[in-house]
Amino acid sequence: MDAASPQRDSRTMTPGRHAADEIRAAERARLRALVEPDLDTADALHAEDYQLITPGGAVLSKQDYLGAVATGELDYRTFEAVSDVAVRTGEHFGVLRYCARIEVSVSGNPDEGIFWHTDTYELRDGAWQAVWSQATRIGS
Do 23 and 103 form a contact (C-beta atoms < 8 A)?
Answer: no
Reported as a single tens digit per residue, the pLDDT across 113-140 is 999 999 999 999 999 999 999 999 998 6
pLDDT tens per residue, range 33-42:
999 999 999 9
Q: What's the predicted TM-score (pTM) here?
A: 0.87
Which of 39, 42, 38, 26 has its CA nearest to residue 123? 26
Bridge partners of 118, per DSSP, are 97, 134
**CATH number assigned to the domain covering 17-137:** 3.10.450.50
Provide the residue ranges of all domains of the chain, joining segments of one domain with +: 17-137
